[in-house]
Amino acid sequence: MSPKELYNVLNAVVPLYFSMLLAYSSIKHFKLFTADQCSGINRFVAIFAIPLLSFNFISRINPFHMHFLFLAADSLSKLFVLLLLLFWSHLFKNGSLDWSITLFSIATLPNTLVMGIPLLKSMYGDEQEDLMIQLVVMQSIIWYTVLLFLFEFRSARNSLMEKRSSNSVKEERGVSEEELVHVVVANYSLAENEIQRSQFVTKVSPELEEEEEDNEEKFPGIEELSKQQAGVCESSVQVFSREDEIMREEHEKSQIGRLSVLLILRLVCHKLIRNLNFYASVLGISWALISSRWNVKKPLMMENSITILSNAGLGMAMFSLGLFMAMQPSIIACGKRLAAYGMIIRFIAGPAFMALSSVLLGIRGTTLKVSIVQAALPQGIVPFVFAKEYDLHPEMLSTAVIFGMIVSLPVTILYYMALGS
Amino acid sequence: MSPKELYNVLNAVVPLYFSMLLAYSSIKHFKLFTADQCSGINRFVAIFAIPLLSFNFISRINPFHMHFLFLAADSLSKLFVLLLLLFWSHLFKNGSLDWSITLFSIATLPNTLVMGIPLLKSMYGDEQEDLMIQLVVMQSIIWYTVLLFLFEFRSARNSLMEKRSSNSVKEERGVSEEELVHVVVANYSLAENEIQRSQFVTKVSPELEEEEEDNEEKFPGIEELSKQQAGVCESSVQVFSREDEIMREEHEKSQIGRLSVLLILRLVCHKLIRNLNFYASVLGISWALISSRWNVKKPLMMENSITILSNAGLGMAMFSLGLFMAMQPSIIACGKRLAAYGMIIRFIAGPAFMALSSVLLGIRGTTLKVSIVQAALPQGIVPFVFAKEYDLHPEMLSTAVIFGMIVSLPVTILYYMALGS
């Protein structure tokens, strides 16, 4: 790699860090913004800047000319890591679903949109932008949904176990369909209440409501649960036994499993319809399909209207990250040991799995390099947002995001140098 | 004007309004942001986005190839309006300095940076961007300073008159040097205290402090005034008489006038060193001078670092305007009659004076059209900020900004059509 090439990369990356550090020091040193004011900026980024940036990028690709081999390699590596972790959590004593979810996030979900596009473009040329956008599409439509499913599955299981262990009436029998459904339904109505309470009210789509009515025979409690949730929870909890193993087996084998999976999927849907990035990606890919199929272009007025705010996306996203960094009591919130593990998984294990599956699928040359370097980007923000929402190792994820930002600069450049240009 | 030309203009302007309306409806209809969160976004725009946008534009011009005739015409029209208004306020009974300042702002200070650049570019071609930037330079370095001076002069005079009229000891004699100086010094120390209290602490530059020490013999009260301001004010007020007319004459003719002008200038300096836009403009023009003189270019890393945030400037400025619009109890805060006067002055009188002075200086063709249309842009934001800070008809200025935004779209297009392309 020539000094000129390194200089090009720095020209693309340093501005991102500049924006982040400006925000960091405007809080740490100048106290320019109060906490509320920061949350205003962050909300603007989350609600407008990033979704419009996603839409703007995604709507420009040609979905009929995607690099399917590259995407397959990406999916393969993610799937491989996920199965490995689930295997570990199910079959090993020290395995845990909680850590499986966290490690999956850290190993496989980098910050492709904000960091990946400018960095990889500067390293391997403008034509890599398309590859990065394709990864963004996969991430936001498929992999974030998978992650949400894992989180919802975990919280359904946890509520069940909690209620069991707090239950004084021990009836020595297996778990019935009714029981598991009750818990998932309780979670479901909790989520519904949460939606109603939340500032950003999204009306439940009519189809879902219809479905609910159809299901009434099967789960007579749904409507009531929503209304008198606490009471119903208590009564439904009374029949739970403590037998974890039986529950697990039942859960996997019987009718119950399938039913609760359906309900968890519904919970995931509920989360997704409140997730603007998911909307932005689905709309973006839909537009891309239409525009590539029938060669339609966005009216310039619409294009410009999106661009004027999505232009703010890149800088503002980094600024928002800097504000977040400054608001944390510590950059390494999860402790040094865990941070070190996190960094190894993010910057070594993740790229290694990606390299492995790319090579397995016969990817060579620049695309192989791109696939490895993009896997060594700092942690994506969305997994951190989920981790915080579900309160699952948020300090580990925040460290991966913040400390990862700092570590990734030399690391990606090292990868770049090692792989040759 | 062909429909295609109109379409081009709309393509440039509609996105600006889109951004504003998005913000407006995110508050009015969806309540996405609290007041504090809005202030965070506005602060970001004021502290980072707009100054960086100014710097980015201004630093790119060549100060040795400015369109000096065009700038002279602009200055002439502003000067003409100002003198006319001052003449009216001094010599006519119904004249007032307060309304002179407000009318000067409304007649001569449009929103050149955010609205002017995209609009005029779309109307008369990319090469007009340079003309608009040159106007921005003049506005932010010269005309906002003049405006600040007027505001500070007014508040010095008002404090004097207030203290006089509240003074119970009526001594029938003229105003002495000491008296006027005391008032201005009191204002000065008030401003100093304000600076110390304000979040955005700027250390008074060492030269100013030195100067202060030099002046100690002349104004022995300065240091004490800062410390025990209230007490000193009271004692210094005791000697003021009520004779307005005598004061005015003295103020204009004698030594006192010149002394207090110097002190007011200093107050203006104090305001300017806290004004990031002024900094941005001065830095921008300095860089432009250096880079044009010695053909130096900004390092790409620096250029990109500025661009990443200044890119946010245009959309965010309009977004911030939309938030401001939504937070007002009424879009026409100053009442319909005043609003109508304001609109006539902004969109008819302002462009008329500009047209007159341009024609007088021999400007013809496209440049004449540019000079007229740019004078018919909506009200600039900075004069509103000053009006609010000095509490001088802020509702009139806010109406000129907000209602002016709505009125200007058809008005500028009408001008464009009337002038022919």
**Residue B301: which of A14, A34, A307 has the nearest Cβ?**
A14
DSSP lists the bridge partners of residue B110 as B379
Spell out which residues of chain A touch residue B305, defining contact as CB-CB under 8 Å.
14-15, 18-19
Q: A28 to chain B, minimum CA–CA distance in Å?
A: 13
Q: What is the pLDDT of residues A344-371, one digit of tens each?
A: 999 999 999 999 999 999 999 999 999 9
Residue B375 token pair: 């004078």
Spell out which residues of chain B touch residue A26, defining contact as CB-CB under 8 Å.
47
pLDDT of B188 reads 60
User: Please, which contacts does B386-390 make with residues 24 or more away whose CB atoms are closer than 8 Å?
Assistant: B386/B105, B386/B144, B386/B147, B386/B148, B386/B151, B387/B102, B387/B105, B389/B151, B390/B151, B390/B154, B390/B155
Mean pLDDT is highest, among B4-8, B241-245, B272-276, B351-355, for: B351-355
Residue A60 token pair: 């420009």
Q: How confident is the model at residue A272 (pLDDT cuts 50, 70, 90)?
A: confident
Spell out which residues of chain B touch residue A50, defining contact as CB-CB under 8 Å.
none
Q: Answer yes or no: is pLDDT of A164 > 90.
A: no
Q: What is the pLDDT of residues B319-347, one digit of tens each?
A: 999 999 999 888 888 889 999 999 999 99
Q: Answer yes or no: is pLDDT of A205 > 50.
A: no
Average the pLDDT over B64-87 and give the result: 95
A65 by Cβ neighbours in 10 Å (0-12 / 13-18 / 19+) ranks as exposed
Q: A145 to chain B, minimum CA–CA distance in Å?
A: 25
Spell out which residues of chain A touch residue B304, defining contact as CB-CB under 8 Å.
11-12, 14-15
Closest Cα in chain A to B301: A11
**Residue B15: which of A30, A301, A314 has the nearest Cβ?**
A301
Average the pLDDT over B262-278 and give the result: 83
pLDDT of B202 reads 34
Q: Is pLDDT larger for residue B325 or for residue A183?
A: B325
Judged by CB atoms closer than 8 Å, whether chains meet at B19 and A305 is answered as yes
B49 by Cβ neighbours in 10 Å (0-12 / 13-18 / 19+) ranks as buried
pTM: 0.79
pLDDT of A161 reads 79
Question: CA dihedral in degrees (A201, A205, A211, A212; nearest 10)?
Answer: 20
Q: Please report the number of interchain residue pairs, chain A to chain B, with beta-carbon separation below 8 angstroms.
A: 117
Q: How confident is the model at residue B267 (pLDDT cuts 50, 70, 90)?
A: confident
Q: Answer yes or no: is pLDDT of B171 > 60.
A: no
Spell out which residues of chain B touch residue A47, defining contact as CB-CB under 8 Å.
26, 32
Judged by CB atoms closer than 8 Å, whether chains meet at B15 and A314 is answered as no
d(C-alpha B387, C-alpha B381), whole Å: 10
Q: Answer yes or no: is pLDDT of A198 > 90.
A: no
d(C-alpha B388, C-alpha B327), whole Å: 15
pLDDT of B194 reads 52
Residues 6 or more apart from A371 whose CB is under 8 A from it? A70, A73, A74, A354, A355, A358, A363
Judged by CB atoms closer than 8 Å, whether chains meet at B36 and A33 is answered as no
Judged by CB atoms closer than 8 Å, whether chains meet at B36 and A34 is answered as yes
Worst-scoring range by mean pLDDT, A227-231, A409-413, B87-91, B188-192?
A227-231
Judged by CB atoms closer than 8 Å, whether chains meet at A10 and B301 is answered as yes
Spell out which residues of chain B touch residue A326, defining contact as CB-CB under 8 Å.
none
**Residue B14: which of A34, A305, A312 has the nearest Cβ?**
A305
Q: Is pLDDT larger for residue A157 or for residue A399?
A: A399
d(C-alpha B180, C-alpha B236), whole Å: 10
Q: Answer yes or no: is pLDDT of B25 > 90.
A: yes
Q: How confident is the model at residue A376 (pLDDT cuts 50, 70, 90)?
A: very high
Q: Which amino acid is at A267?
A: L
Q: What is the pLDDT of residues A126-152, one digit of tens each?
A: 989 999 999 999 999 999 999 999 998
Worst-scoring range by mean pLDDT, A378-382, B49-53, B150-154, B206-210?
B206-210
DSSP lists the bridge partners of residue A379 as A110
Q: B19 to chain A, minimum CA–CA distance in Å?
A: 7
Spell out which residues of chain A touch residue B198, defining contact as CB-CB under 8 Å.
none
The pLDDT mean for chain B works out to 81
Half-sphere exposure of B57 (CA within 13 A, CB side): 28
Q: How many other CB atoms are there within 10 angstroms of residue B30's CB atom?
A: 12
d(C-alpha A139, C-alpha A133), whole Å: 10
B195 by Cβ neighbours in 10 Å (0-12 / 13-18 / 19+) ranks as middle
**Residue A19: which of B18, B308, B316 has the nearest Cβ?**
B308
Q: Which amino acid is at A237?
A: V
Judged by CB atoms closer than 8 Å, whether chains meet at A309 and B32 is answered as no
Q: Answer yes or no: is pLDDT of A51 > 80.
A: yes
Integer Rg of chain A from CA: 23
| Rounded percentage of chain B residues whose pLDDT exceeds 90 | 58
Judged by CB atoms closer than 8 Å, whether chains meet at B308 and A31 is answered as no
Interface test with A, best of B305, B307, B323 (most A CBs within 10 A): B305
Q: Is A289 helix (H, G, I), strand (E, B) or coil?
A: helix
Q: Answer yes or no: is pLDDT of B390 > 70.
A: yes
pLDDT of A271 reads 81
Worst-scoring range by mean pLDDT, B112-116, B161-165, B176-180, B337-341?
B176-180
Cβ contact A17:A299 at 8 Å: no
Q: B324 to chain A, minimum CA–CA distance in Å?
A: 14
pLDDT of B179 reads 58
Average the pLDDT over B212-227 and give the result: 37
Q: Is A110 helix (H, G, I), strand (E, B) or coil?
A: strand
Q: How many other CB atoms are there within 10 angstroms of residue B153's CB atom?
A: 20
DSSP lists the bridge partners of residue A110 as A379
d(C-alpha B110, C-alpha B77), whole Å: 13
Cβ contact B112:B380 at 8 Å: yes
B79 by Cβ neighbours in 10 Å (0-12 / 13-18 / 19+) ranks as middle
Average the pLDDT over A257-264 and give the result: 73
Q: Answer yes or no: is pLDDT of B367 > 60.
A: yes
Cβ contact A392:A147 at 8 Å: no
Q: Is pLDDT larger for residue A171 or for residue A59?
A: A59
Residues 6 or more apart from A414 whose CB is under 8 A from it? none
Average the pLDDT over B36-46 and give the result: 94
DSSP lists the bridge partners of residue B379 as B110
Cβ contact B180:B264 at 8 Å: no
Report the candidate in B193, B208, B198, B225 with the shortest Cα–Cα distance to residue B265: B208
Residues 6 or more apart from A169 whose CB is under 8 A from it? A238, A239
**Residue B15: which of A38, A304, A316 has the nearest Cβ?**
A304
Q: Is pLDDT larger for residue B182 or for residue B345?
A: B345
Question: CA dihedral in degrees (B379, B382, B383, B388; nearest 10)?
Answer: 120
Residue-wise DSSP of A197-234 = HSSS--PPPHHHHHHHHHTTTT-THHHHHHHSHHHHHH
Closest Cα in chain A to B201: A30
d(C-alpha A114, C-alpha A380), whole Å: 9
**Residue B200: which of A32, A300, A314 has the nearest Cβ?**
A32
Average the pLDDT over A105-112 and give the result: 96
Q: Answer yes or no: is pLDDT of B228 > 70.
A: no
Closest Cα in chain B to A21: B305
**Residue B300: which of A11, A34, A200 has the nearest Cβ?**
A11
**Residue A41: which of B41, B305, B309 has the nearest Cβ?**
B41
The pLDDT mean for chain A works out to 81
pLDDT of A106 reads 96
